[in-house]
Amino acid sequence: MKRMFAVLMVIVMLFSTAACSSSTDTSADKTGNTAQSGDSKSGGTTSGATSSDKTVEIRFSNWDGGATLDAYEAAINAFMKENPNIKVTNLNIPSEYDTKITAMIAANDAPEISILNSDTLLYPLAEEGKLVNILDLIKNDPEFDGSDLIDNLKYMRDPNFMAGYGIGPQNICLFYNPALFKKYGVEEPPAKYENAWDWDTFVENAKKLTIDKNGKNALDPGFDPENIDTYGVTFGKWWAIYMPLVLSSGGDYLNADGTATGMDSPEAINAMQKMADLIWVHHVSPTPIASQTMPGLSESIATNKVAMSINGQWTNSDLMADGVEYNVAVLPKIGSKAKTVMTAGCLSILDTPKKEAAWEFFKYMCSPGAVSALEKSGLWLPSVKSGYTEEYLKEMITDKHPANYYESICLPMLDGTAEPPTTSWVVNFSKINDVLTPALDPVWAGESSYADAIRGAISQLNAEVKGRRDK
């Protein structure tokens, strides 16, 4: 036991040394002149620990790479240009993020502001008193307009404590291949949620677009489901993909009072079975085995292997960069109204002596244009209501964005169609999900009905249910 403790302490000390070393390395040389232009952001004035001539150094931890990391660097440089008394170091941790952040906190070397996983670290840290209540910071800052924050992006530990806020939000939508719709004479899916296809229409059109090796579609006599050349639709098998359809059906992840799972309700069973039937009854979606050899969505659309895909809005970034001819549309509905769900990285401030400086950077990162490169790339959406003005969206949406981007992806963020991330309000989500995900494997494999699978896992699921944060 002593040997294990000694090893742990060595690891903590080594990581702390690396973190401290990285905090002295300015990011200016890495980004050159990539900082944003000089519009003043909501974090442009400083207060508290930032009001003197002394420079305050803070660290911003995150795990992203590629274009997102580059955008962070540019945002940091632009912020420091407007706030010369605050130095921000980009503490990028691409692997074992939760473990390393936990070690830093244990060593009293916590970063001042962090992107946190809402299904793992966020709420335990909030319950341990390691995070600052964002509501208190808003209350004490008369210059900040708290009403600009989007309610569904507030990660609330309880009604009186905001543990973090979702920046770079995204949602789930329908991607489609216009060339295939034109080729087979199928009407393109609607751009607005008020006109969403009902489920039967969606399945019917998916069948028309599913073509076997002999050129027959899934409605034709003699269609060969064992030799499909073009699939009508693909979809992921995780919570953000299936929850919009569960919600549209009238179901939810938990029951109304948060005492049990909601995934065994008749509404949830209906939605989940309909998704499985796309594979095994209607033969319009690839089986798990067939999916293993499917190319990525860019290549699948470019080579006419896929007509539609239920996927995350962030997929636009790859499709746009690859120059793929595609469009986006709204998800189909199972009940009376179609729905989608949001996803987002949660920006939180840790309870350190430099929380006032971290708050200034927090405000900047939430403001429209702070990470405009990610918004223009199709990867992120604006984080606050003021980012959805016609004026700003005209600047953000480029000629590379799909034609329906505004109606199908932007509008749902504010009109009630996009529901909050399931991870933001389900207590103990990760443990519940650890039970539910493998329980669904036989369903996607065609070895079990959804009803049988969920009944077989119900005791384990309910043992992990600890309540709702939104009640």
| Rounded distance between C-alpha atoms, residue 450 and residue 433, angstroms | 16
407: in domain: no
Q: 53 with 131, same domain?
A: yes
Q: 138 with 162, same domain?
A: yes
Nearest to 27 by CA among 85, 93, 90, 92: 90
| Rounded distance between C-alpha atoms, residue 394 and residue 147, angstroms | 23
Q: 322 with 273, same domain?
A: yes
68: in domain: yes
| Rounded distance between C-alpha atoms, residue 440 and residue 241, angstroms | 13
Average pLDDT of the segment spanning 438-460: 98
Average pLDDT of the segment spanning 359-381: 96
Q: 83 with 130, same domain?
A: yes
Q: 94 with 222, same domain?
A: no
Q: 21 with 73, same domain?
A: yes
Q: Can you tell me whether residue 220 is helix, strand or coil?
A: coil
Residue 303 has pLDDT above 80, yes or no: yes
Query: How many independent structural domains does the chain possess?
Result: 2
Which domain range does residue 236 map to?
171-342+419-464
Provide the CATH number for the domain around residue 383: 3.40.190.10
Distance of CA 187 to the CA centre of its chain: 30
Contacts of 278 (CB under 8 A, 6+ apart): 203, 206, 233, 235, 284, 285
Q: 314 with 373, same domain?
A: no
Read off the pLDDT of residues 143-157 as tens digits, 9 standing for 90 and up: 999 999 999 999 999
| Rounded distance between C-alpha atoms, residue 71 and residue 468, angstroms | 34
404: in domain: no
231: in domain: yes
pLDDT score for 52: 55
| Residue listed under structure tokens 């609607």 | 190
DSSP designation for 330: P
DSSP designation for 297: H
Residue 49 has pLDDT above 60, yes or no: no
215: in domain: yes
How sure is the predictor about 92, in pLDDT bands with cuts at 50, 70 and 90? very high
Amino acid identity of 421? Answer: P
Q: 190 with 327, same domain?
A: yes
7: in domain: yes
Instruction: Provide the token pair at 365.
Output: 């990162």
| Rounded distance between C-alpha atoms, residue 133 and residue 346, angstroms | 13
327: in domain: yes
Q: 204 with 81, same domain?
A: no
How sure is the predictor about 35, in pLDDT bands with cuts at 50, 70 and 90? very low
Q: 218 with 300, same domain?
A: yes
Q: 82 with 193, same domain?
A: no
Nearest to 246 by CA among 259, 255, 234: 255
Contacts of 232 (CB under 8 A, 6+ apart): 205, 206, 207, 208, 209, 210, 218, 284, 285, 307, 308
Dihedral pair phi/psi, residue 225, rounded to 5°: -70, -10
How sure is the predictor about 471, in pLDDT bands with cuts at 50, 70 and 90? confident
Q: Residues 8-15: contacts with CB within 8 Å, 24+ apart? A: 11/103, 12/103, 12/106, 12/107, 13/107, 15/100, 15/103, 15/104, 15/107
Q: 87 with 25, same domain?
A: yes
Query: Global pTM?
Result: 0.87
| Rounded distance between C-alpha atoms, residue 52 and residue 86, angstroms | 10
410: in domain: no
Cβ count near 108 (within 10 Å): 8
Read off the pLDDT of residues 387-419 as tens digits, 9 standing for 90 and up: 999 999 999 999 999 999 999 999 999 999 999
Read off the pLDDT of residues 172-201 as tens digits, 9 standing for 90 and up: 999 999 999 999 999 999 999 999 999 999
